[in-house]
Structure 1
Amino acid sequence: MPLTESLPSQPGSAPERAIPGPAGLPVLGSMLDLRRDSLSTFLRAQREHGDVVRLEAGPPGLRSVFHAVFAPEGVQQILASRAANFRKDHPLYEEVRQAFGNGLLTSQDADYLRQRRLVQPLFTKRRVDGYASAVTTEAAGLADRWRTADGGTVDLVPEMNRLALRTVSRILFGLDAEAAVDAIHRCAPVINAYVVRRAYVPVKIPREWPTPGNQRARAATDELNALCDRIVADRRASRETAGDADGAGEDLLSLLAAAGNDEDGSLDATEVREQVLIFLLAGHETTATSLAFTLHLLARHPEEQTRVRDELDRVLGDRTPTAADLDRLPCLTQALKESMRLYPAAPVISRRAVAAAEIGGFRIPAGADVVVAPWVTHRNPELWPDPERFDPRRFDPEPEAARHRYAWFPFGGGPRACIGQHFSMLESVLALAVLLRAYELDAVDEEVPVSAGITLQATGPARVRLRPRAGAGE
């Protein structure tokens, strides 16, 4: 029998509908399934029990109970229309907060509003479009390096990770990008794994205890903090020296350090560092995921790759793409969006209910941990016919306009929607344009296994064989 929860009703009222869910194991519930493959567990829960599901994980006395909401209407309530009732008090966000500080991803209430007002001017369309040349420079450098690839084959997962990391580091740090790339490439995986592991264990060992895991995470965190503090101090000093000289401090870190207004003041050095660390986390892993899977899907579907490349040749000719080309490349943008449907970089989003709420005909109790899952909603066959099929034409203007706003939400939504949406789309489209003009890609690996961490993680290779296009890059 499926696990259900009967909630108390008011005298004289109809009884509450029980929230369905998998029974799991007698002692551990769904814990082992969630640890083995949380994405498949959520997908199976939706298909077997519906759009509001209750799951239990862990032994009695240490059991976690949470509710998953999959229908677009429910997602909209949680992320947008009733967002104030669903806060970032989930254990995962607390662990991210402990590791990376209280930046935009994790802050709440007055702290969040103040930070958002201070940081928003740095992410206007005009400002973000100014980063286009940094994106195309890094992508062109990668295209050149690929000409010496061993056997003409590359694994897109580490390649796109490093490209996205170099790009965001160049934009954030300017001339300090190379040192930052090495440190982040070494430290970020250690911290990410530690955060996810702690977020989902029923009993947490205090961070202060000198266990090997705690010590590795602390060393990685200290290294990143020291790197950012040094660069922040250098930027502040250079601004004081340069004064208002034209062109001084055009990297994003300098702009962050200088951000301020009469109402909110400015960000102190610790706050700047915390924003930088979140930008590095959110700004390279998420974009790397979108880039890797878009290229791999196009390599697996040569007819779509040809369609995109014909558009690039027609629109760009031999010139380097610019921010102004984004609206002129609908086929490439559709392929990117379809990749983000199948492989959303944030596959699961967590919240905690402040007060009880009715969603999809069920009562979510106050204090409940709640998740919405782009991974599942993006695969609902009622929203996406033949959902596992790669079909960029799903994002033609007419079908896209006809769908529910929250049938596709890779950037979240509502007041906490990703502040870097335009930057991510700009970086992805321009980098893909540069690489696809230089190479034709043939898939070596047909399927790429994935798992859910802070972001979507490829757990196997996504190799492609490169065929340089005639005349490209010469």
Structure 2
Amino acid sequence: MPATEIPGPAGLPVLGSMLDLRRDSLGAFLRAHREHGDVVRLQAGPPGLRSVFHAVFSPQGAQQILASEAANFRKDHPLYEEVRQSFGNGLLTSQDADYLRQRRLVQPLFTKRRVDGYAAAVTTEAGSLAERWRTMDGGTVDLVGEMNRLALRTVSRILFGTDVEAAVDVIHRCAPVINDYVVRRAYVPVKVPREWPTPGNRRAREATEEVTAVCDRIIAERRAAAATGTGTSTSTSTSTGTGTGTGTTGPLPADDLLSLLAEAANEQDGSLDATEVREQVLIFLLAGHETTAISMAFTLHLLASHPKEQAHVREEIDEVLADGTPTAADLDRLPRLTRALKEAMRLYPPAPVVSRRAVAATEIGGFRIPAGADVVVAPWVTHRDPQLWEDPERFDPDRFTPEREAGRHRYAWFPFGGGPRACIGQHFSMLESVLALATLLRAYELEAVDEEVPASAGITLQATGPARVRLHPRERTTAG
């Protein structure tokens, strides 16, 4: 029989673990695992308003929740409800028949062949950033902000084609406001109705309306152009100087993702209406760019902090690319860089905590999780488990050689989730990250200024301090 008494921290007499979770939820999860094991019960909030949830830290438990028993663990957690209210019912938040229909319609847009076609957009934006950095010889940049804008420009270019500039500045300014609002509301015991005119509600509403308006305008213009036959299938983007670019133009995919979303259809599922297209676009823009940005920022910062490993990665890049522009075909030819990226995603998983709600009572790790319980799995903790990873805080890309990967549990490393709800854009994220990192590391040697970069859990992982590096331009001329 499974045990019913699940261990966990007692916390404060009135507030339980609420203050610890608010101050540093990732640190609180690490302590809970260290002190109480692989299945932990946590309580937060005063009596009568207390929330109770269960954290599962073992790879076996993560596999059970995300994959083998995924149907029993739904996205009914308060965080997903807040995301749903702010961003709509796109792939991240939809469930049941809605999710299956959307996934069938959108999946063809993320095949390997289709995603590989976006490589030119990635290298165009990364090359523009490398050129802008050349005006800062000996200068210092904060990788958090730089990679955030690079990833946002890249996904906007792929989504919107020529309309990059219309979206980038609005989303760069508004996304942090919306994300902070969503996370705060998800974890407070009592929620003020969104309709009340509080300062926080007004700021979030204005930010959401601004992002929605720019997406709706671009979608409407694209539909009108398609209806009149004035649209083009191949786009170029000229930077205005306000973003990553330097006034250069470059090749784009034959079809931008927005056009493909608007055209997605099959006999079984019909097509996406204008609202559904917008909801997918919002998820791709707001969640998609942040996850890739944080992975690139921490990869570069870790390499800047480990100069020998950075030199090995750069040797590989020089040998493989010479003076050519990296392409999708080079992805498998850069294994050392890919291992560094994977190790950075182990230490700093872009989705550090994943939430679900149990439909029926379930046994996990010898304990009975009750029906209706909120459950989280935490890559942040599993990726640091000393039972799975020797000296887990050490940066060691060789953990991801094929031989060592084959010897580990499938869910010892799961930055993209897993099971039927695994991230649909994981191949795109890896392609974008490897090609952009190769472009930047070929052009610069990086020297870390900040030794440590603090992080916290939001909708995605958030760097709460700068990740500054000093730029040392290399002699090699950067192609692309």
Q: Where on the TM-score scale, by shorter chain, does this alignment land: which range?
A: over 0.9
TM-fit CA distance, 1:57: 0.2
Taking the aligned partners of 1:170 and 1:177, their CA distance within structure 2 comes to 5
C-alpha distance in 2, partners of 1:468/1:451? Answer: 32
SS in 1 for 2:82: helix
Once the two structures are TM-superposed, the CA of residue 247 in structure 1 deviates from its matched residue by: 4.9
Partner of 2:10 in structure 1? 23
Find 1:159's aligned residue among 142, 146, 149.
146
SS in 1 for 2:420: helix
State the one-letter code of the partner of 2:148.
N
Residue of structure 2 equivalent to 1:41: 28
Paired residue for 1:195?
182
String of CA shifts for 1:303-341, please: whole Å, max 9, x gaps. 110110010111111101000000000000000000000
Aligned to 1:389: 394
- 1:174-213 map, 5 Å: 174-213=161-200
Which of 215, 237, 243 lines up with 2:202 in the alignment? 215
Q: Which amino acid is the alignment partner of residue 336 of structure 1?
A: L
* TM superposition shift of 1:250: 1.2
Greater than 4 Å deviation, 4+ residue runs: 243-249
Superposition map of 1:126-275 within 5 A = 126-149=113-136, 151-242=138-229, 247=234, 250-275=255-280
Q: Do residues 423 (structure 1) and 431 (structure 2) align?
A: no
Residue among 390, 403, 410 paired with 2:408: 403
Moved more, 226-235 or 328-337: 226-235
Structure 2 residue matching 1:410: 3-state secondary structure: coil
Deviation (angstroms), 1:148? 1.8
What is the rounded CA distance, in whole Å, between the counterparts of 1:473 and 1:276 in structure 2?
Answer: 32
Specify the alignment match of 1:337 in structure 2: 342
Deviations 1:396-419 (A, max 9, x none): 010101100000000000000000
Aligned to 2:357: 352
- Offset at 1:17? 4.2
Structure 1 partner of 2:75: 88
Deviation at 1:245, TM superposition (A): 7.6
What is the deviation of 1:15?
7.7
Q: CA deviation at 1:67?
A: 0.1
Q: Determine the C-alpha separation between the residues in 1 that align with 2:360 and 2:340.
A: 40
For 1:440 and 1:233, the matched residues in 2 are separated by 44
Counterpart of 1:11 in structure 2 is none
User: SS of the residue aligned with 2:476?
Assistant: coil
Q: Distance in 2 between matches of 1:381 and 1:157?
A: 28
Match of 2:310 among 305, 308, 313: 305
> Is 2:93 the partner of 1:106?
yes
Gaps of 5+ in 2: 236-253
Quote the Cα distance in structure 2 between the aligned partners of 1:177 and 1:345: 24
> Scaled by the length of structure 1, what TM-score is found?
0.96
1:362 deviation in Å? 0.2
Q: In structure 2, do the counterparts of structure 1 residues 141 and 247 end up closer, same or farther at CA, with 3 Å as the change threshold? A: closer
- CA–CA distance in structure 2, aligned partners of residues 372 and 473 of structure 1: 42
Once the two structures are TM-superposed, the CA of residue 239 in structure 1 deviates from its matched residue by 1.4
- Aligned partner of 1:3 in structure 2 is none
- Structure 2 counterparts to residues 438-457 of structure 1, below 5 A: 438-457=443-462
Amino acid at match of 1:290: S
**What are the superposed Cα offsets for residues 73-96 of structure 1, whole Å, 9 maximum, x if unpaired?**
000000000000000000000000
Q: Which moved more, 1:14-23 or 1:455-464?
A: 14-23
Amino acid paired to 2:19: L
Distance 2:165 2:284 in 1: 17
3-state SS of paired residue (1:170): helix
Aligned counterparts of 1:245 and 1:417: Cα–Cα separation in 2 = 33
SS at match of 1:107: coil
Counterpart-to-counterpart distance in 1, 2:476 and 2:66:
48
Output the CA distance in 2 between the equivalents of 1:246 and 1:448.
42
Mark the CA change 1:167 to 1:245 in structure 2 (over 3 Å): closer, same or farther. closer
Q: Which deviates more from structure 2 when the two are superposed, residues 245-254 or residues 278-287?
A: 245-254
Measure how far apart 1:152 and its partner are: 1.2
- Higher mean alpha-carbon deviation, 361-370 vs 147-156, is at 147-156
Query: Hey, what's the Cα distance between the residues in 1 that align with 2:441 and 2:203?
Result: 39
Deviates more, 1:292-301 or 1:229-238: 229-238
For 2:191 and 2:138, the matched residues in 1 are separated by 46
Distance 1:246 1:176, change over 3 A: closer
Distance (whole Å) between structure 1 residues aligned to residue 4 and residue 191 of structure 2: 34
Contact 2:70 2:420 in 1 (8 A): yes
Q: Which residue of 2 aligns with 1:124?
A: 111
